[in-house]
Structure 1
Amino acid sequence: MNPLAAAGLPRPDMSVAEASTLAQELFGRTGHITELGSQQDRNFRIQAAEGPSFLLKVANPEFTNDELLAQNEALRFLTAAGITVPQVVLGLSGESVYRYKDSGVRLLTFLDGSPLTSAGYLSPASATALGKLAGRTAAALSGLKSAGLTPSGLGRDQQWDLRNGVAVVERLQHHIQGQARRQQVLQATAHVAAALENLAGELRVQTIHGDITDDNVVAEPNRAGQAIACGVIDFGDLGYGWLVAELAVTLSCLLHHNPGEVGALIAAARAFDEQIRLTDTEIAALWPLVLLRGAVLEVSGEQQVAIDPTNAYAASGRDKEWMIFEQALALPFDLMRELFRSALGRPAECAPAPDGPVGARLLPAIKHAVPLDFSSTSPDLHGGRWRRSDSEAALVRDRIATATPASALLAPYGQFRMTRTEVDTSAEQATCALGTELFVPAGSAVHAPVGGTFTPTPDGAVLVCAGFSLILQGLECQLEAGTTVAAGELLGTVRSDRTVEYGRLWVQLSTVADLAPPQFATPDHAAGWLRLCPDPSQILGFRAAATSATGDDMLRRRQFHFAQVQEIYYQQPPQIERGWQHHLIDIRGRSYLDMMNNVTILGHGHPEIAAAAADQWQLLNTNSRFHYEVLGELCSQLSDLAPAGLDEVLLVNSGTEAVDLALRMAGAATGRSAVVTVKEAYHGWSMGSDAVSTSLADNPSALETRPEWVHLAAAPNTYRGIYRGPDSGPRYVADIARQLSELDSRGIAVAAFISESFYGNAGGVPLPREYLAGVYELIRARGGVCIADEVQVGFGRLGEYFWGFEEQRVVPDIITVAKSMGNGHPLGAVITTREIADAFRGEGSFFSSAGGSGLSCRIGLTVLQVLERENLQRNATEVGAHLKAELLHLMETHHIIGAVHGMGLYLGVELVRDRDTLEAAREETFAICERLRERGVIVQPTADRQNVLKIKPPLCLSMSSATFFVQQLDEVLTRGW
């Protein structure tokens, strides 16, 4: 077979009826037969009424028997190696290959599973499985020769062998539609040829599958619904080839699933390398081969449609093939080489520059530099200053005003700049500085640090030195292009800025002579670009690099010292060091929409809270046994916000402490200990609050380990409880009435009933109508008290209601509140009647060290003031209504959404595998949260089944951000997770 000399390889002319006859006459197999897509062969699936399925393969006539027998031999060999592949089925005469109309005919077992082709986004788990399967297959096939198996059919010359890739493109390029597109493919192929020229001779050659892609693997879903490759099919491209081409082909197929993202590429390459370690030369050749694969796919696909217009399979793949080519072309070879080397634990291939002593300083008149901090931890960017379009320039102007002579302001190399962060975007921003930005007195002389060849540019110059290039921007120079300069020679002066006496000089190194690197890189590309553009500190004569911004060391330290019982969000958690309003920013300048931090009700970094805290720290901070104004003022305002009669306030430092105290007060007021609580509830972690907590997500043994004084009532969950619907309240109340009567008969008197006013822990599920009214009446009739846990839903989060119990039209005897009350500061309260408070006083005195401190009270007062002045409760109503309406709209197209719970800005999106059985989509929910994080949204699962997206953002959430969240959720549910 020599496809390079052939006119093309149209599929054999064969009907379904002929295939059915062949299957029966040659192999004795009958059943329902359907044709499957193929580029150059014919494939027919045969499904018998009972038993397994088979695949009848009718090969292109160009394939010889030797080539088909070689495929059969490889299938047997891989099976023995433990890799799932189709099995060869012998015909009635004992042969494995038959000829019919010049075509080879074989029968194989059909591998159950789904190809990855139809999948949208492929998760790191899916990419890892695909890379691992490709690596295992390559590693196994490398043993064919040592096993003495070298079938003659392996040496065929074929168009899919990337050793022939350049020739294939050149021969078939006339099939490409459009001159511009054709020229683009030819230029890219020439670039590949140049890159491979000095590498090809060192690339290992062995037997490879040659096409382990989304088309040619079968996958099974894991518990999260992610497709995990488990078997390899279609060995039509089997033959000798470059080992690294096996990985290149696999990586190429990921490009149309995850356009613009390198995470899946890195995951697949790492998994492949763990199976069969790549050499340095193979890593260098990898991305050129990915691009070559894209070019070959493009020309081959166009040729196939031209010679076989009825081939719908080939025609349908053309857009995908062009996308693969474009995506591969967009990423420079050198960048991808260093990204792969970094991910695979290899040192940088390029040496740090300059490699050797520096002859002179770039700016000899500048004696020292004052660093500028544009990072996410910069104290100069508080109060949302980083959101200004001129934030960097404004900070520079401030610093210039106090700068000393002979000094420079320096924005460090390698710093991830929060000032370049955008919010409400799914794409990473280019935040990592690949050079050093200097602000120096205008006219400062710039000298060559080492000798080189000078080339002026429109905004500066490039000095090409031995082993690296020095890129300067902001340089005024008179030298001619091609001028050879010596170390210490004057290159020019720093241009002046018309507004200030200082000028800007950008200094950047590049270790690749013909590569024009960007000034800033996105976080996912930073590891590669930083290797290609080294630290310029040596030529400046002072430190020009930022402290390495990596969260890896801190994460390891946390995992080692921070007890693991304290959970962490996400499998690969970002290190988040800044919050502003309803956004969070990590140390690499990536912004995230915060859809779950209900503690910071006003938003992150609120300047009034910061100012109030700072001011109070400088005045006084002591405990509530002292007398100071802010304590009385806070208690007075809380009393005014509570229903009439609830005018006694006890200040604490958390919701746990508030609930624990409320239980003690109920016992003191009634002289009893029995408490009724509902299932699927969480109230805290102390001995008392944990005793009444029944959340299985927090404690899988919660229902079996309650103390005897705790009595459990059914979860009043209107979506999945024992009674369902908003009108199910009376039925739940009737059950509690029977339960209380049974306790009466046993002589057990109830002290209290406690529940959330809005079923927050279950995912923001409203309680059924008349539920609390009926239960409160039953409890009070027996002399008990009613505790409303408002820790999550109080303070206006529901929008229409300030307190959750208002939605139920009841008044509790005790209110517990925390979280929102301090906007992140540890502050909570118990609000109750004077009668209950006086009864508790009989047990002794009480105080909380932090709860009633001057600092806590001042912050609590400020929170209430800002809530009112910024109309955040109204914002919760309006934005919450918009958000819920949009989420309900998503239910129409995404059946995984079983329900949208809640109101205001306390919502829950419940995800199910089946809307009838309500089987919880637990694993899917976690995976969806991971994918949303990748797209710039922070959200986490909640509820006992961990299948509800808890949506309780700061109340300053904007309409545009709410819309962005819905768009991202829609994208993830549409394209996969």
Structure 2
Amino acid sequence: MTQPVNIRGFDFFSAGELPAPALPADEVVAIVRRHWGLDVELEGLGSQQDQNFLARSRPAAGGSDDPGAPIGVVKVTNPAFTADELDAQDHAASRIADAAPHLRIATTSVADNGSPRSIVADTSAGPLAVRLLEYLPGGTLNGPAYLSPTVVARMGEVAAHASLALADFDHPGLDRVLQWDLRVADRVVDLLAHYHPDRAKRERVTEAATRAWADVQAVASELPMQAVHLDLTDDNVVCTTERGIRLPDGMIDFGDVTRSWAVAELAITISSVLHHAGAEPVSVLPAVRAFHALRPLSASEVRALWPLVVLRGAVLVVSGEQQVQIDGGANAYAAEGVEREWRIFEQATSVPSIVMTRLIAEALGVELDDGRADASHHRPTRIGLDPAPDLARAARLDVSITADEVDAGAWLEPGLEERLALAALDAGAPMAWLERTTPRLTASRTHSAESRETVPTGIDVWFAVATHVSSDGDDARLVVEAADGMTILDGTVPARTRARIRLEAAGAPTHVPHLVRPEVAPGWLSLTTDPAAAIGLAPSAAAAGSGDLAHDAADLVARRDRTFAEVQEHYYDAPPRIERGWREHLVGTDGRVYLDMVNNVTPLGHGHPGLAAAVAKQLRTLNTNSRFNYGAVVEFSERLAAMAPDPLDTVFLVNSGSEATDLAIRVTLAATGRRDVVSVLEAYHGWTYASDAVSTSTADNPNALASRPDWVHAVEAPNPFRGRYRGDEAARYAPEAAERIRELAASGRPPAAFIAETFYGNAGGIPLPDGYLAEVYAAVREAGGLAIADEVQAGYGRLGQWFWGFQQQGVVPDVIAVAKAAGNGYPLGAVITTREIAARFRTQGYFFSSTGGSPASSIAGLTVLDAFRDDGLQRNAADTGAYLKSRLEALAERHPLIGAVHGLGLYLGVEFVRDRATLEPATAETAAICDRLLELGVIMQPTGDHQNVLKVKPPLVATRESADFFVAMLDRVLTEGW
């Protein structure tokens, strides 16, 4: 690029190097006192080329040792910058503040004493411009902590508002040449590359910069120019904390304001995301979308954006090394930034620019004019096979997540694809093949913090006889490689041997991976075409898509919202599409495998082969309602009644936990002839009329307390961790509940029943105080009422040591309500009581459930009980649960956000608090932690009235390996941020 002429301000290429000022702090204190009459203490702040201090008021003599209140930021500007440049910075800040009043902007203004906040002071280093800038509380995003998609999107919004506000701003002080101006990035890298001490890294930087510069130059003439902040990075975006979560809402440091390409504003912002924990190129897409929504990007800007990110990374690397050397190690900020800047560069170059460009274009819906319109001048590539197989008899293999061939965990077995292909050839197929774009579950694995490469950019083929593969056409290059992905074949594929075939478009990188991660798949797939179509094979409908699986998941949510009642919520704001499960794992349509740590509906795990086979066989034979005479309902009722203690010997079968608790209440009302029921606060029992009436959880129903009918009477939640009585004082809950029951009886409204979870599940898996149920059950029975045990969550061995939750309390209820685990997800619930109590319900008429107790549901129930016995699930709950709890408790010793680890067996709760003394619930943090865990491959949800407890209730087949992975990911989130 030709060097600009008539530069009025600073010209980096004339200066060559820019040592930062290094005034002693006491000298700066004196300057502040002399010019602004302020007595301050200074705290050094980092800067690449200036000198910055946080100024605090000095405490009075003999006063507190605490630091004084912040007054402002003292900025000692590098002497290379002119007065016009400083004035331009001040005007730019004011302009953005006026245009975007919702943002906080660090402006310079007149001081309280009437003095200007920008002065030129005589210092030991000569005349230096010193400014007192407004201090914006809340801090920046400085540091390596994880940035959530919401935070990243806010960064893009802030950059867009700056770009819009400065679009028509002009000032003589913009006439400058900075090393950070990406219009001169090529010259900066050429000039400074020799400072990098590592030859290999130096060559990587210069080569990447050369390629990126060529990409930018291809569209440079089409890029709009304007005034830009040019440094809206994580260091210069300030935040406000909202409910424990930091969100960007302002900007500081206008020292790099200049005139440049408008899109450089966004490029610099998103590049600063790349060094943060867990960040990768696709992590910046929320910022790009948010910027584009406010200030639309042209197709040329989209083409330039990622190459500019690469150039920014290269400039940071060489500039950082230069600054460290010219400052002689005295600039700690520059020295600490070297590793950070290298990570930015590494991430920026980890995906080819053309792939990121196509990915960004697809995310924004921007059509790129990148030569594809000239395809009419090329002959479409056709692939020939010699000898030509009978394509009508070719076997298309399927190892997608919906394929029968991957059932029962077969996808985890090495060599499954090979076995399927050879079996097809043995059956007479001349060719077997796996299609392009459809994610392959066989390429995925469990316990992975990142998605795996599951999306194929080409096809895999096996021929019954040796076959030569050739191409005719010039719009794509044919690649035929061996299964190792390294050996390029000469076109001849040996018989019964896997080969990979791709058609790579012109402009594709020299190496296109055969399998790519779902997040970047749209970018890679846009650079390849389908070899199957070129051969004449017909791919499935799924393979004809673009590979944008995130859009597929979002589209499904939109369809759900149009027809499925909104009140039926779904987990997560942007949930993955889950279409398969195996044991304690769930699988998305992109092949990503998640560890399911919340699904207590399936104690046997997902996709249990024995259960599937038993129910399928029964459905093929008979499925009707329980008023017919068949054996399964009798056998299941006998087995379930035998699991209950004496005198409970009679079973009702229903469809769900809500129906079970509803029926349990109706049974007690009929048995006693009364209408009043006592329940416990903060409890959830179901959605039917009666079960909802006794539910008092405001998390499930914000109006639960106000809408409770008059026949329901709630006693205080016996929460020994955050309730009114804690620790040893928790023994007071039971006498007070018993007294309330006696008061009701004395008032002429003796309760028909007392209902409670036997283990305080909705609050986070908290054991009831010792003796609680014994005393309360005694009181209700003394008043002529009955005791209902809600075992919907705690029952069926989840506590490990006990099959029923009430056994932990040493009591026997009059009525048990159970569901969830009973059918392993198949609709099945039960009420277990005595013959006498059940007989009294006959006064209400007859009762039956269409599917509760049907042949299929009864078989499901029997199979679950068999698996509990044969697979030792209750013992596993005890052993793995104890191991998991000990590891979580160890985690709590290192992370103060964990206030407590509750529970027993695999019925645990991790409670997050902002303060262990006040127990202030960390509600927003808990939701954000769950979102971050999802990114890391763990399904987790909050529970409790404050929604600040992790609901740790995985399938009872969970292993120690899964416990370790969950703890490791939670540790990572609590360490890196959320």
Structure-1 residue corresponding to 2:901: 900
Q: Is the 8 A contact 2:777 2:787 kept in 1?
A: yes
Tell me whether 1:811 sits opposite 2:812 in the alignment: yes
Q: Is the 8 A contact 1:788 1:816 kept in 2?
A: yes
Tell me how large the CA RMSD over aligned residues is. 2.1
Structure-2 residue corresponding to 1:140: 165
Q: Is the 8 A contact 2:760 2:768 kept in 1?
A: yes
Q: Do the aligned partners of residues 360 and 629 (structure 1) sit closer, same or farther apart at CA in structure 2, a change above 3 Å counting?
A: same
Report Cα offsets for 1:228-254 as digits up to 9, x if no partner.
Answer: 211111111111111111111111110
Distance 1:552 1:434 in 2: 23
SS of alignment partner, residue 437 of structure 1: strand
SS of alignment partner, residue 254 of structure 1: coil
Structure-1 residue corresponding to 2:65: none
In the alignment, residue 884 of structure 1 is paired with which amino acid?
A: K
Report Cα offsets for 1:797-852 as digits up to 9, x if no partner.
Answer: 00011000000000111111111000000011111111111222233322111111
Q: What's the TM-score once normalised by structure 1's chain length?
A: 0.93
Distance 1:433 1:673 in 2: 63
Residue from 372, 375, 397 that aligns with 2:397:
372
Distance 1:352 1:469 in 2: 18
Tell me whether 1:129 sits opposite 2:154 in the alignment: yes
Report Cα offsets for 1:267-289 as digits up to 9, x if no partner.
Answer: 11111122222222221111111
Distance 1:93 1:745 in 2: 78
Quote how far apart the aligned CAs of 1:359 are.
7.3
Report Cα offsets for 1:99-140 as digits up to 9, x if no partner.
Answer: 531322222222222011135000011101111101110111
Quote how far apart the aligned CAs of 1:258 are.
4.2
Distance 2:280 2:346 in 1: 13
Quote how far apart the aligned CAs of 1:390 are.
1.3
Tell me whether 1:496 sits opposite 2:495 in the alignment: yes
Report Cα offsets for 1:714-735 as digits up to 9, x if no partner.
Answer: 1111111121226623x11221
Distance 1:919 1:834 in 2: 48
SS of alignment partner, residue 334 of structure 2: helix
SS of alignment partner, residue 703 of structure 1: coil
Tell me whether 1:609 sits opposite 2:611 in the alignment: yes
Q: Which shifted more, 88-97 or 629-638?
A: 88-97
Distance 1:432 1:181 in 2: 31
Structure-2 residue corresponding to 1:488: none
Structure-2 residue corresponding to 1:436: 459
Q: Is the 8 A contact 2:108 2:117 kept in 1?
A: no
Q: Map 1:816-835 onto structure 2 (within 5 A).
A: 816-835=817-836
Q: Do the aligned partners of residues 271 and 670 (structure 1) sit closer, same or farther apart at CA in structure 2, a change above 3 Å counting?
A: same
Q: Which shifted more, 199-208 or 777-786?
A: 199-208
Residue from 231, 247, 265 that aligns with 1:228:
247
Q: Is the 8 A contact 2:96 2:166 kept in 1?
A: yes
Structure-2 residue corresponding to 1:173: 193
Q: Do the aligned partners of residues 40 and 519 (structure 1) sit closer, same or farther apart at CA in structure 2, a change above 3 Å counting?
A: same
Structure-2 residue corresponding to 1:917: 918
Report Cα offsets for 1:409-466 as digits up to 9, x if no partner.
Answer: 231111011111110110110001111223333223434232xxxxxxxxxxxxxx24
Q: Do the aligned partners of residues 505 and 67 (structure 1) sit closer, same or farther apart at CA in structure 2, a change above 3 Å counting?
A: closer
In the alignment, residue 380 of structure 1 is paired with which amino acid?
A: E
Structure-1 residue corresponding to 2:3: none
SS of alignment partner, residue 334 of structure 1: helix
Residue from 222, 240, 244 that aligns with 2:263:
244
Q: Do the aligned partners of residues 353 and 874 (structure 1) sit closer, same or farther apart at CA in structure 2, a change above 3 Å counting?
A: farther
Quote how far apart the aligned CAs of 1:955 are.
0.3
Residue from 586, 589, 612 that aligns with 1:587:
589
Tell me whether 1:676 sits opposite 2:678 in the alignment: yes
Structure-2 residue corresponding to 1:28: 37
Residue from 31, 35, 56 that aligns with 1:47:
56
Structure-2 residue corresponding to 1:541: 536
Tell me whether 1:528 sits opposite 2:551 in the alignment: no
Report Cα offsets for 1:781-807 as digits up to 9, x if no partner.
Answer: 121111111111111000011000000
Q: Do the aligned partners of residues 676 and 614 (structure 1) sit closer, same or farther apart at CA in structure 2, a change above 3 Å counting?
A: same
Q: Is the 8 A contact 2:760 2:766 kept in 1?
A: yes
In the alignment, residue 317 of structure 2 is paired with which amino acid?
A: E
Q: Is the 8 A contact 2:502 2:530 kept in 1?
A: no
Q: Map 1:97-496 onto structure 2 (within 5 A).
A: 97-100=119-122, 101-118=126-143, 120-144=145-169, 150-223=170-243, 225-308=244-327, 309-347=329-367, 351=372, 358=380, 361-363=383-385, 364-368=388-392, 369-405=394-430, 408-450=431-473, 465-466=474-475, 468-474=476-482, 492-496=491-495
In the alignment, residue 946 of structure 1 is paired with which amino acid?
A: Q
In the alignment, residue 925 of structure 2 is paired with which amino acid?
A: E
Q: Do the aligned partners of residues 260 and 117 (structure 1) sit closer, same or farther apart at CA in structure 2, a change above 3 Å counting?
A: closer
Q: Is the 8 A contact 1:469 1:513 kept in 2?
A: no
SS of alignment partner, residue 903 of structure 2: strand
Structure-1 residue corresponding to 2:62: none
Distance 2:397 2:863 in 1: 33
Tell me whether 1:60 sits opposite 2:78 in the alignment: yes
Quote how far apart the aligned CAs of 1:6 are.
2.5
Q: Do the aligned partners of residues 579 and 353 (structure 1) sit closer, same or farther apart at CA in structure 2, a change above 3 Å counting?
A: farther
Q: Do the aligned partners of residues 353 and 718 (structure 1) sit closer, same or farther apart at CA in structure 2, a change above 3 Å counting?
A: farther
Quote how far apart the aligned CAs of 1:737 are.
2.7
User: Structure 1, unaligned stretches of length 5 or more?
Assistant: 145-149, 451-464, 482-490
Q: Is the 8 A contact 2:277 2:976 kept in 1?
A: no
In the alignment, residue 646 of structure 1 is paired with which amino acid?
A: L
Distance 2:744 2:865 in 1: 42
Q: Do the aligned partners of residues 596 and 360 (structure 1) sit closer, same or farther apart at CA in structure 2, a change above 3 Å counting?
A: closer
SS of alignment partner, residue 156 of structure 1: coil
Q: Is the 8 A contact 2:196 2:321 kept in 1?
A: yes
Distance 2:30 2:500 in 1: 77
Quote how far apart the aligned CAs of 1:542 are.
2.9
Distance 2:780 2:116 in 1: 83
Residue from 501, 504, 522 that aligns with 1:509:
504
Q: Do the aligned partners of residues 788 and 349 (structure 1) sit closer, same or farther apart at CA in structure 2, a change above 3 Å counting?
A: farther
Q: Is the 8 A contact 1:593 1:938 kept in 2?
A: yes
Q: Is the 8 A contact 2:50 2:78 kept in 1?
A: yes
SS of alignment partner, residue 723 of structure 2: coil
Q: Is the 8 A contact 1:787 1:814 kept in 2?
A: yes
Q: Is the 8 A contact 2:382 2:471 kept in 1?
A: yes
Q: What's the TM-score once normalised by structure 2's chain length?
A: 0.93
Report Cα offsets for 1:28-52 as digits up to 9, x if no partner.
Answer: 3332333322111112222236886
Distance 1:801 1:341 in 2: 57
Distance 1:741 1:954 in 2: 41
Q: Is the 8 A contact 1:509 1:535 kept in 2?
A: no
SS of alignment partner, residue 341 of structure 1: helix
Quote how far apart the aligned CAs of 1:514 are.
4.5
Q: Is the 8 A contact 1:362 1:540 kept in 2?
A: yes
Residue from 652, 655, 672 that aligns with 1:653:
655
User: Structure 2, unaligned stretches of length 5 or more?
Assistant: 1-9, 59-67
Quote how far apart the aligned CAs of 1:95 are.
7.8
Q: Is the 8 A contact 1:597 1:954 kept in 2?
A: yes
Distance 2:502 2:797 in 1: 52
Distance 1:719 1:507 in 2: 60
Distance 1:118 1:748 in 2: 62
Structure-2 residue corresponding to 1:725: 727
Structure-2 residue corresponding to 1:461: none
Q: Is the 8 A contact 1:353 1:509 kept in 2?
A: no
In the alignment, residue 716 of structure 1 is paired with which amino acid?
A: P
In the alignment, residue 494 of structure 1 is paired with which amino acid?
A: V
SS of alignment partner, residue 601 of structure 1: coil
Distance 2:948 2:262 in 1: 43
Structure-2 residue corresponding to 1:763: 764
Q: Do the aligned partners of residues 784 and 93 (structure 1) sit closer, same or farther apart at CA in structure 2, a change above 3 Å counting?
A: closer
